[in-house]
Amino acid sequence: MHKDIATPVRTREILDKYGFSFKKSLGQNFLIDTNILNRIVDHAELKERSGAIEIGPGIGALTEQLAKRAEKVVAFEIDQRLLPILEDTLSPYPNVKIIHSDVLKADVQAVVETEFAGLEDVMVVANLPYYVTTPILMKLLEERLPIRGIVCMLQKEVADRISAKPSTKEYGSLSIAVQYYTKAETVMIVPKTVFMPQPNVDSAVIRLTLHDEPPVKVTDEKFFFFVTRSSFAQRRKTILNNLTSQLPDGKQKKEDILAALKQAGIEESRRGETLSIEEFACLSEALYPYFH
Ligand code: SAM
């Protein structure tokens, strides 16, 4: 019986065997604590017939634990140097497939359809590369993949912004974008000591469970997200001032925005950070006819 990959001793052995050196630019901070990995996988609530997608398997620490609990695991890894290592470390797990690709450029939808056909559900589980956390999450959500949810490790500061509630300093357009698609919860705060090498920032694990239906109905999602982003353009400014500077020019722009705010029942002196997702939806619907 071999030892788990995610121990300091075995990880060191593997790195030495292949003369592997970490690339900071690829966000390579590997997990060396099996207990933490098991807790992450617990949060994914995998069933025997679940599929799992991993982003950035590294030397396979998380992949191994996923392979033990899911029917099939497909992992996207950008760093070619890791491919022979993964072939070696994951050789006991025939239910794992590694795809050598930048996940941001990959056709994840096609992979889900071909690799997980007939399975009960699909979860994304990852210890994300921190330099691209937000683009990866937004890609997975905007493409509306047929997945149940995402459990991932990321910078604590980003986790705080994603799960933030209105009227907190962390609440912003990222909170709204993610909460439009999912129920977002921070489920673990993780110490730096479980990584090799240790990252400079604090880490957390979030669980995103996809909504069956978005919590609000809007005519045009792109416009809704544009309005929310615009409302936070300068956090200290009022929503009226932010919208006036961000929305496209029109003859009576300010009057139109004032009329839409009134129609949505939102005081012009409020700041974006005080508006709930429902209020943003009302406001976006009220603004829509003026700007289309
Ligand atoms: N899963 C491993 C673990 O927990 O020990 C490694 C996690 S490490 C934080 C992030 C991994 O993502 C690295 O293996 C890195 O090479 C890979 N990676 C970085 N950018 C990527 C991208 N755009 N697409 C796919 N993988 C990427």
Q: Is domain 8-210 given the CATH code 3.40.640.10 in the classification?
A: no
Residue nearest to atom 24 of ligand 1 (CA): 102
Q: Does residue 74 surpass a pLDDT of 60? A: yes
Residue nearest to atom 22 of ligand 1 (CA): 102
* Alpha helices for the chain (secondary structure H): 8-18, 34-44, 61-69, 83-89, 108-115, 133-142, 156-162, 173-181, 221-231, 239-246, 253-263, 277-287
34 in ligand 1 pocket by Cβ < 6 Å?
Answer: no
First to last CA, the chain: 65
256 in ligand 1 pocket by Cβ < 6 Å?
Answer: no
Our mutation pick for probing the ligand 1 site, out of 20, 28, 158, counting the most ligand atoms within 8 A of Cβ, is: 28
Residue nearest to atom 10 of ligand 1 (CA): 129
Q: Are 188 and 159 in contact (CB under 8 A)?
A: no
Residues 193-248: tens digit of each pLDDT: 999 999 999 999 999 999 999 999 999 999 999 999 999 999 999 999 999 999 99
If DSSP codes are grouped into helix, strand and coil, which group holds residue 289? helix
Q: Does residue 179 surpass a pLDDT of 90? A: yes
Q: Is-above-0.85 flag for pTM? A: yes
Residues 243-271: tens digit of each pLDDT: 999 999 877 999 999 999 999 999 999 99
pLDDT at 250: 78
Residue nearest to atom 23 of ligand 1 (CA): 102
Q: Does residue 24 surpass a pLDDT of 90? A: yes
Of all residues in the chain, the percent with pLDDT exceeding 90 is 98
**What is the band of 3 on the pLDDT scale with cuts at 50, 70, 90?**
confident
* Among 127, 144, 124, 143, residue whose Cα is nearest residue 46: 124
pLDDT at 251: 79
Q: Mean pLDDT over all residues of the chain?
A: 97
Residue nearest to atom 11 of ligand 1 (CA): 56
60 in ligand 1 pocket by Cβ < 6 Å?
Answer: no
Decide: residue 25, CB within 10 A, 0-12 exposed, 13-18 middle, 19+ buried.
exposed
CATH 3.40.50.150: which residues of the chain? 8-210
- CA angle, residues 83, 139, 24, in degrees to nearest 5: 45
Q: Does residue 53 surpass a pLDDT of 80? A: yes
* Among 233, 237, 245, 251, residue whose Cα is nearest residue 290: 251
Which superfamily does CATH assign the domain made up of 221-291 to? rRNA adenine dimethylase, C-terminal domain (1.10.8.100)
Residues 82-138: tens digit of each pLDDT: 999 999 999 999 999 999 999 999 999 999 999 999 999 999 999 999 999 999 999
CATH 1.10.8.100: which residues of the chain? 221-291
Please compute Rg for the chain using Cα positions. Answer: 22
Decide: residue 231, CB within 10 A, 0-12 exposed, 13-18 middle, 19+ buried.
buried
pLDDT at 1: 56
Residue 95: which residues within 8 A CB-CB, separation 6 or more? 67, 70, 71, 72, 73
Q: What is the pLDDT averaged over residues 21-50?
A: 98
**What is the band of 272 on the pLDDT scale with cuts at 50, 70, 90?**
very high
